[in-house]
Amino acid sequence: MGFTSKPVRVIEIPEPASEPLLAPEREPQRTEREEEAPVQTPA
């Protein structure tokens, strides 16, 4: 991308006040440690 013409104006726009972007909800991922936890068996 690039513009061949000269700039015509410079403006300052304040940061939009809208809410921040939110990530879609995801299923919590199991960690490797959880998956590898040893199964305890009764003695």
CB of 30 to other proteins, least distance (A): 20
41 in helix, strand or coil? coil
- The CA distances from residue 35 to 10, 14, 26, 30, in Å, are 56, 47, 19, 7
23-32, long-range: CB < 8 A, 24+ apart: none
CB of 29 to other proteins, least distance (A): 15
> 1 to 43, contacts with other proteins by CB under 8 A?
1-16, 18, 20-24
Nearer to other proteins, 4 or 40 (CB): 4
Residues of the shown chain interacting with other proteins in the complex, contacts defined by CB under 8 A: 1-16, 18, 20-24
